[in-house]
Structure formats: C-alpha cells, structure tokens
C-alpha cells in the first residue's frame, strides 16, 4: 500500500534566487525543482492536490504580526525603490533588533521596510519575493490536507511541503522557511482529537522553530536528531541535549545532537531512541519532519546517511503504528533526494 502524496503546484512559485551568506549572494539551494524530483520519485503513489483551508490553525501557531508581514512584504518591497537603487527585487533584512541593540529599552517600530524585515527574518539567507507567500501558504494547505486524509481513515499521508517550515518560530522566520508546516499539522491533529501528538524531526538541522512553538506545551512532544550545533552548524543557538522544554512542557522536548560525519548506524539508533520515547509517552499521532539533508551527498550538512538509513528510519517510526503525517523539510541534492524520500516512505509503510 503506497502512502498518499499531497502536493500543490503553487509551492513552485517561491523562487529564492539567492542566499546571502557571510555577505555574499550564493545561488539558492531550496529551489522549485525539489518538488518535481520528489514527484518523479513517488510516481505510482496516489496523488492528491491540496484543498484550501482557512487561517484558524495557522493563526494559533504564528503571531499575526509575522503573518501580516509575510503576506504583504513582497508587494511593499516592489513598490519601494530597492530594485532601481541597488537591483534588489527580494526582501532581504540588513538590520536586526537583537537584545544587544535594545539594551533593555523598548524600541519604536521602524518606519523603513528594509529595517522592518529584520524584526521577523533572523538570517540573511531566507529571501522573500513575488510568489513566496503564495507558495508558503500553499504548503500549509498541503499539510492540513494530509491531516484531513488521516481523519478520513488513511493510516498515513505524505505532505510535499515547499518551502520547508521547521525553522519558523511563532514570530520569526529563517533557514529557508517561512511558515511552520509541521507545527500546523501537529496542532490540527490535536484539533482532530489526539490528546498527545509527537513531532519527530529527522532533518539534518535542529527544528528550532517547532521547538519554540511547543516549548511550554505538554500535549505536543518535539524530538529531533541533527548535526551538533556546538560543532558550528545552523541554527547555531539551539538543538543541544540540555534543551528539554520548560514549564508545563518540561520534558516534552528532546534533542539528540550528532557529530559531523555520523552515518547510518548511530543515526538510525537515534531515530529508534526517539521512537521509543514517543511510544512511552502515549502519543496517539505522529508528525515526522522529513528532511533528507542528512544524506551523505547533500551539500548542506556533514551527516553521512544513505538511502538504506532512511528506509530503516521509516521502519522505526512506521513501527509505532500511529496515524502519521510525513512533512517534507530540507534536502537539497536534486539527483538523489527523491529516492531518499521514497526510501523513507517505503520503510514507514512496511515496517
Ligand atoms: C529546512 C532546512 O534544511 N534549512 C536549512 C538551512 C540551513 N542553511 C545553512 C546555510 C549555511 C551556509 N551554507 C552555505 C551554502 C551557500 N549556498
Ligand atoms: Zn535541514
């Protein structure tokens, strides 16, 4: 039985153009072709286009100020003179209201759009242009449609979300992400009657956004394995083993940072560890943040996982027997990433 695939052609509309890294524009890696290589690799799976959903769940995950900014920023940028001044047609922040700048004072809202961007965007690699909002919002519909399939009786569904989402906090976006698709899916599963939902994040990077959304909540567990931020990797500040949640959410977050170069054995072992944790916690539904950038040939991480590793990870999580929404996150090696997704789905469907 092949896992149903939910997608939307709208998700192709985000064209990142560049990532500005250490001040230098490098070609964007989170490209629309990612959608097509995944669709090609999953040919034969039942395919369903996303249905429109309203903002009810999305507005519980993200602050209205972030949603308002993302919805309107591209049009406002195009109406301002940035293109004629410097040839920049994408929204790029350059000024950031860090705690160091504020020094305890309450700032006034910045008048300039180019200063406003840094209130929400926390890095310089996540450019926003015409079509970005439409693609990100479509990805949320993809995730919510996958949740609907579970409610209709499907044991699991794959949400081909693009752009990805796990780096987006309630108020901040970055890491090639604009809206947190996996967090929206988990919240929708709570609405569907699941008292306790788990998010297991196998993307090569820590999902700081999803962790932030559920940090103080006992009803949505967040567990992640990822390349160790202490070795210098994005998202730099978060993803250490000592981060386990706070307040009512104390103990409902788990982080398993892995050394650079980690391959299948210990990587799958970490997935199995998180699967046991989810089972012991009595979760009744699962969201997998399914990034495939832990692969050996992926340009964005130093982990060394193979297709067989992804199949084994799928088996470990499929073995939980929980209704599952598998949400696409990262994965940037166009020649192999589709096959890695297919391998995970095959393992998950046949543990
Ligand atoms: C969803 C996801 O996988 N986001 C990961 C974003 C991490 N990007 C960190 C990039 C660090 C610098 N990369 C230099 C490559 C230039 N193209
Ligand atoms: Zn990643």
Instruction: Calculate the average pLDDT of the chain.
Output: 98
Residue 167 is a catalytic residue: yes
The pLDDT tens digits for 133-166 are 999 999 999 999 999 999 999 999 999 999 999 9
Q: Which atom of ligand 1 is nearest to the CA of 166?
A: 1
Residue among 72, 58, 25, 239 nearest 139 (CA):
58
Instruction: Determine the Cα–Cα distance for residues 227 and 229; give it in Å rounded to an integer.
Output: 6
Which of these, 289, 65, 327, 54, lies nearest to 170 by C-alpha position?
65
pLDDT in tens, 15-50: 999 999 999 999 999 999 999 999 999 999 999 999
Q: Is the separation of the CB atoms in 222 and 201 below 8 Å? A: yes
pLDDT at 60: 98
Cα separations (Å) of 303 from 15, 141, 169, 289? 27, 31, 25, 17
Q: Which one of the listed residues 14, 167, 226, 333 is annotated catalytic? A: 167
Quick check: 125 and 167 in contact, CB under 8 A? no
Which pLDDT does position 27 carry in this prediction?
96
pLDDT in tens, 87-131: 999 999 999 999 999 999 999 999 999 999 999 999 999 999 999
Q: What are the structure tokens assigned to 121, written together?
A: 């965007």
The DSSP symbol for 44 reads: T
Q: Which ligand is nearest to the CA of 177?
A: 1
Q: Does position 1 have pLDDT exceeding 90, yes or no?
A: no
Q: Which of 222, 232, 221 is nearest to 260 (CA)?
A: 232
Residue 128 backbone phi and psi in degrees, to 5: -125, 130
The proportion of the chain whose per-residue pLDDT surpasses 90, expressed as a percent, equals 100
82 Cβ contact list (under 8 Å, min separation 6):
88, 89, 114
Q: Is the CB of 291 under 6 A from ligand 1?
A: yes
Tell me if 156 CB under 6 Å of ligand 1.
Answer: no
Cα 319 to its chain centre, rounded Å, is 23
The reported pTM is: 0.98
Reported as a single tens digit per residue, the pLDDT across 273-302 is 999 999 999 999 999 999 999 999 999 999
| pLDDT band at 193; cut points 50, 70, 90 | very high
- Cβ–ligand 1 distance for 316 under 6 Å, the answer no
Verify whether ligand 1 is closer than 6 Å to residue 176 (CB atom): yes
Does 332 have pLDDT greater than 90? Answer: yes
pLDDT-derived band at 341 (thresholds 50, 70, 90) equals very high
Please tell me the number of the ligand nearest to residue 227's CA.
2
| SS3 of residue 27 by DSSP | strand
Under 8 Å between Cβ of 284 and 277: no
């Amino acid at each position: 039985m092949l896992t149903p695939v939910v997608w939307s052609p709208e998700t192709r509309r985000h064209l990142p153009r560049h990532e500005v890294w250490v001040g230098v524009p490098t070609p964007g890696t989170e490209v629309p072709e990612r959608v097509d290589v995944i669709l090609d690799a999953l040919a034969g799976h039942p395919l369903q286009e996303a249905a429109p959903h309203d903002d009810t769940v999305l507005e519980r995950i993200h602050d209205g100020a972030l949603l308002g900014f993302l919805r309107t920023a591209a049009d406002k940028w195009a109406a301002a003179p940035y293109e004629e001044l410097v040839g920049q047609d994408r929204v790029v922040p350059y000024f950031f209201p860090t705690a160091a700048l504020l020094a305890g004072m309450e700032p006034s809202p910045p008048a300039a759009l180019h200063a406003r961007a840094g209130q929400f965007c926390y890095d310089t690699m996540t450019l926003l242009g015409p079509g970005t909002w439409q693609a990100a919002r479509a990805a949320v519909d993809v995730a919510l449609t996958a949740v609907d399939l579970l409610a209709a009786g499907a044991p699991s569904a794959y949400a081909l979300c693009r752009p990805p989402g796990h780096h987006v906090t309630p108020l901040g976006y970055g890491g090639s992400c604009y809206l947190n698709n996996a967090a929206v899916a988990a919240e929708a599963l709570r609405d569907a009657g699941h008292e306790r939902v788990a998010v297991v994040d196998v993307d090569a990077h820590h999902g700081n956004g999803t962790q932030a959304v559920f940090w103080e909540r006992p009803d949505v567990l967040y567990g992640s394995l990822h390349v160790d931020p202490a070795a210098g990797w994005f998202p730099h500040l978060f993803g250490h083993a000592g981060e386990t949640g706070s307040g009512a959410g104390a103990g409902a977050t788990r982080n398993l940072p892995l050394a650079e170069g980690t391959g299948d054995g210990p990587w799958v072992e970490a997935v199995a560890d998180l699967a046991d944790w989810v089972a012991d916690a009595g979760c009744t539904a699962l969201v997998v943040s399914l990034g495939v950038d832990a692969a050996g040939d992926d340009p964005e991480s130093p982990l060394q996982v193979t297709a067989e590793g992804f199949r084994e990870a799928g088996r470990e999580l499929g073995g939980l027997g929980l209704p599952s929404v598998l949400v696409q996150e990262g994965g940037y090696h166009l020649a192999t990433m589709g096959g890695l997704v297919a391998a995970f789905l095959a393992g998950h469907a046949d543990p």
